[in-house]
Structure 1
Amino acid sequence: MTELNNLWLTETIRLREEHAGPLEDLEANRLARNAGGDLPTRIQRRALWLAERDGLSDALKHWLQGARLALLVLAVLAVVSGAGLAFAALGDGQMPVNVFWALGSLLGLNLILLLSWALGLVFAGEHGASLGRLWLWLSEKLARDAKAAQLAPALILMLQRHKLNRWAIGILVNSLWLLAMLSALAILLTLLATRRYGFVWETTILSADTFITVTQALGALPSLLGFNVPTVEMIRASGDAALNIESARQAWATWLVGVLLVCGVVPRLLLAAFCLWRWKTGQASLHLDLNLPGYAQLRERLMPTSERLGISDAAPEQLHRVESGVSDQQSDGALLVAIELDDQRPWPPPLPKNVSNAGVLDSRESRHKLLEQLSRFPPARLAIACDPRRSPDRGSLALIAELARSASATRVWLLQAPPGEALDAERLGDWHVALQQLELPFADCAPLNWLETGHD
């Protein structure tokens, strides 16, 4: 994951919370605080954890795949368009080629749009956005991920804030036109190598001297690179009919190729390289704007002046699948912990020597202390004892999920009712459904053998 992608996902999370309200982020905030670092680093860690949990990281991968495919489609269109310009300029060789009509066909639209892009860059910085919007639209369609729709607005806002959008669009526009000009140049050389063309110029109101001046001016730079320029006699003679002289045809052909190279290919190449340089230098200075409302309000949660303990955030709309972030190599030992047991139930049960007792979590302080401990010393096996006589509220389920993510393997122990009492079948069913959504194994008997040996 590149730094640009990290900032992109962070901005996406900010926009999502700005429009849809705060996300359930208790565990994300705790992990960001434990990782340390300055506020921008913690904000990024929080956002990346939320993006991974909510599927935005996968959506970004799909969007990037769609973006590459969209770029390939545009590149193919550029190649085909460039080839079409060359065919339109020279024709089939049955008729003499009007050199200035051919030059206009090859360079006219390119130079007009080049000038328009340059003026827009100077005065507005947004010209060429239509092609950029087309690429973004194609990228989103080809990504085939509904969540990818949240990514494009975040990217645009982030680039606009740092004035990088003009250079990103510049790379896209100039690279595609460079591809079109190279395609036109390749087809032009192929046609000139395989067909015999005669070249003329025609006019009604201009004099021959005008065409001589224009031809020599356009051929000045190509001549420095070794391209031939027709002599004055050749230019004058070509005003009446196509010269059936090999040297004249070659001179006009190399002049046409040289002008296309110098006035069509080279400017787009230099501009694409310049935009790429500005993009690279600007990208290196990308950073979070901590003055934005979405980031400013995270300061107290991620760098608090006094620690806030316990689960106090709004309940999520749905339970998220629990996936342990701890490997077997990172974890060790076995641990039993209980959640909100009443005083009448004897606790803990007799435990094997290698199983530790974390006690009963019945306060914010105890929950916070255990989570901090597990973040530093994650157990290989964790058993969580719950009293199914209580309703499986979302706060308890969120705590179970957070504990489970801190261990390599987790099982939930649904305790039996005390003698003389019976469990409510409907409430027990709610526990089963909730734990199945979390994809956590559960049982109504003590998993002590599993805690001790790692198997039943």
Structure 2
Amino acid sequence: MTELTPLQTLWLTEAVRLREEHAGALEDTEASRLARNAGGDLSSRLAARALWLADRDGLTRALHHWLQGARLALIVLAALAVISGAGLAFAALGDGQTPVNVFWALGSLLGLNLMLLLSWAFGLVLAGDYGATLGRLWLWLSEKLARDAKTVHLAPALLLLLQRRKLNRWVLGMLVNGLWLVAMLSALVIVLTLMATRRYGFVWETTILSGETFVAMTQALGALPALLGFSVPTVEMIRASGDAALNIESARQAWAGWLVGVVLVYGVVPRLLLALFCLWRWTSARAGLHLDLTLPGYAQLRERLMPSSERLGVNDAAPEQLHPVNGGASALDSDGALLVAIELDDQRPWPPPLPGNVKDAGILDSRESRHKLLEQLTRFPPARLAIACDPRRSPDRGSLALIAELARCASATRVWLLQAPTGQALDAERLGDWHEALQQLQLPVAECAPMNWLESGHD
């Protein structure tokens, strides 16, 4: 799985907070311990805790699914924008059998775009929430296309995170202006294609306005495109086109160049500049995103993640669901070999004879001893860890959770199921329960003392 960006880290942290706010606190003993050991300020420890929980509970995978759905949703919206732009072009020019009313064509190509652009600008100044409808559509499509039930808190978490710095307006601005840019480019391409393959005549018509009004409007609209090299009809051409479409090649080309230039300058360029402006504001302000540590969900974790004094003992109940051990500590950061036993009785002499490079971690029979060893293993993870268990006991949920937590602190782990003491026999059904439980944890089982493996790393 790809490495998370700083924004995605904050996003997952906020999503975990929302999840705990709605569904109750998560079992986070190991996550909090690892976060404390990682050090840093409260924000970094909150993020470390949240990332561990998100990875354990599948929220990180759900985030990647959501991002895939978001990209698919953008593709769908972009395709709709292309189709809409093409529809505007066909509606503006027609089939070429009748002359094109230039101002009707201009209104078809630019009218809706300019009205919505002005609405977006006013909304940005007054409230900053314009485009929320399109944004909700995109978020809804993203969630549907992700097809992952665990994405339910991701979209609200993203919106809350962005709203604190008022960055949602720039994200929505990129979305709105980007999609309209695609639509206008599509319209422009179709207009050029139709003009290249059909013969169009251009006219203007009026009942109450004078011809000089249209001459002034045409020249005013064509002033900026003319600076870019687009043609503008002469006064004589404009006046003559008020009676009928001129059957002169130069007149048709002048009107076509004028129409394309106006669409480019007043339709495409503003959307492009606004999309780039929103992108600049987003990239420049994104680094300022941070967690709101005053929220109750974060404030109540302060003492746990940055304790004023270290507490011993494990106070949380065992988890309802055991999660597989997906690899342990990095081999580059671990060293040595360790043997530890879990809740052995006095009938077994312990520890057994150990090779010189194998250390004995004793017997874990109390919360204090478990907590102390886990803290030590977090700071100094062993390369090889053997966990001795008495299969006469039932593989209860608490013991299996402890085994999994110990295994995550080592590069490689084996569970040693001890033989029965002399004169006793193991229960086959209970032994089968142990094998089944350890198989779910994806941990190898040793039936005899794994001393060679502990000493050399192989059998």
TM-score normalised per structure 2: 0.94
What displacement does 1:189 show? 1.8
From 186, 197, 205, the equivalent of 2:189 is: 186
Tell me which amino acid in the other structure corresponds to 1:130: T
Structure 1 distance, partners of 2:354, 2:239, is 107
Matched, 1:32 2:28: no
Deviations 1:9-47 (A, max 9, x none): 111111111111111111111111111111101111111
Partners of 1:313 and 1:162 in 2: how far apart? 36
**CA separation of 1:371/1:315 partners in 2, compared to 1, >3 Å: closer, same or farther?**
closer
Post-superposition shift, 1:76?
1.8
Aligned mate of 2:218, from 215, 219, 225: 215
The separation in 2 between residues aligned to 1:114 and 1:203, in whole angstroms, is 28
Q: Is the 8 A contact 2:314 2:368 kept in 1?
A: no
Letter in 1 for 2:325: V
Q: Distance in 2 between matches of 1:414 and 1:313?
A: 26
Asked if residue 85 in structure 1 is aligned to residue 88 in structure 2, the reply is: yes
Q: Deviations over 1:263-307 (max 9, x none)?
A: 101110111111111111221110011011111111111100111
Q: Which amino acid aligns with 1:37?
A: G
Aligned twin of 1:431? 434
Change (3 A) 1:325 1:413: closer
The one-letter amino acid paired with 2:317 is: A
Q: 1:326 aligns with which of 320, 329, 354?
A: 329
Bigger mean CA offset, 172-181 vs 332-341: 332-341
Task: Tell me, in whole angstroms, the C-alpha distance in 1 between the residues paired with 2:196 and 2:420.
Answer: 93
Task: List structure 1 runs of 4+ shifted beyond 6 angstroms.
Answer: none
**Letter in structure 2 aligned against 1:341:** L
Q: How does 1:86-165 map to 2 (within 5 A)?
A: 86-165=89-168
> Partner of 1:45 in structure 2?
48
* Letter of the structure 2 residue corresponding to residue 268 of structure 1: R
Distance 1:154 1:322 in 2: 28
Contact 1:120–1:126 (CA under 8 A) maintained in structure 2: yes
1:445 equivalent in structure 2: 448
Q: Are 1:196 and 2:203 matched, yes or no?
A: no
Alignment of 1:339-354 (within 5 A): 339-354=342-357
Q: State the number of aligned residues.
A: 456
Shift of 1:191: 2.0
Q: Secondary structure at the match of 2:388?
A: strand
Instruction: Choose from 304, 314, 318 the match for 1:315.
Output: 318
Alpha-carbon separation, structure 1, partners of 2:275 and 2:250: 36
Amino acid at match of 2:287: A
Separation in 2, partners of 1:280, 1:398: 43
* CA positional deviation for 1:118: 1.6
State whether residues 23 and 316 of structure 1, in contact with CA within 8 Å, keep that contact through their aligned partners in structure 2: no
Q: Does 1:362 align with 2:370?
A: no
SS at match of 1:337: strand
Q: Which runs of 5+ in 2 are unaligned?
A: none
Displacement of 1:86: 1.3
The question of 1:55 aligning with 2:58 is answered yes
Q: Does the residue aligned with 1:358 lie in a helix, a strand or coil?
A: strand
Quote the Cα distance in structure 2 between the aligned partners of 1:26 and 1:237. 84
Q: Could you say what secondary structure the match of 2:245 adopts? A: coil
Is the deviation greater in 421-430 or in 434-443?
421-430
2:37–2:379 CA contact under 8 A, matched in 1: no
Identity of matched residues, %: 82
- Cα distance in structure 2, aligned partners of 1:304 and 1:329: 30
Residue 257 of structure 1 aligns with which residue?
Answer: 260
Q: Deviations over 1:195-223 (max 9, x none)?
A: 22111011222221222222222222222
Question: Structure 2 CA distance, aligned partners of 1:371 and 1:380?
Answer: 15
Partners of 1:329 and 1:221 lie apart in 2 by 64
Counterpart of 1:412 in structure 2 is: 415
Q: Distance in 1 between matches of 2:231 and 2:160?
A: 50
Distance apart, 1:176 and its partner CA: 0.8
Distance in 2 (alpha carbons) for counterparts of 1:331 and 1:199 = 79
Equivalent residue number for residue 241 of structure 1: 244
Within 5 Å, which residues of 2 pair with 1:269-280?
269-280=272-283
Change (3 A) 1:228 1:257: same
Larger CA deviation: 284-293 vs 395-404: 395-404
Q: In the alignment, what sits opposite 2:77? A: 74
1:172 deviates by: 0.5
Match of 2:341, SS state, is: strand
TM-score by length of 1: 0.94
* Mean CA deviation greater in 177-186 or 116-125: 116-125
Paired residue for 1:176, among 179, 182, 199?
A: 179
Shift in Å at residue 395 of structure 1? 2.9
> What is the alpha-carbon distance in structure 2 between the residues aligned to residue 410 and residue 379 of structure 1?
9
How large is the RMSD of aligned CA atoms in angstroms? 1.9
Among candidates 16, 23, 26, match of residue 26 of structure 2: 23
Contact 2:328 2:412 in 1 (8 A): no
The DSSP-based 3-state class of the residue aligned with 2:176 is: helix
Alpha-carbon offset, residue 308 of structure 1: 2.4
Moved more, 263-272 or 49-58: 49-58
Residue 295 of structure 2: aligned partner:
292
Partner amino acid, structure 1, of 2:311: R
User: Gaps spanning 5+ residues in structure 1: where?
Assistant: none
Shift of 1:230: 2.1
For residues 306 and 103 of structure 1, the distance between their equivalents in structure 2, rounded to whole angstroms, comes to: 73
Q: Secondary structure at the match of 1:125?
A: coil
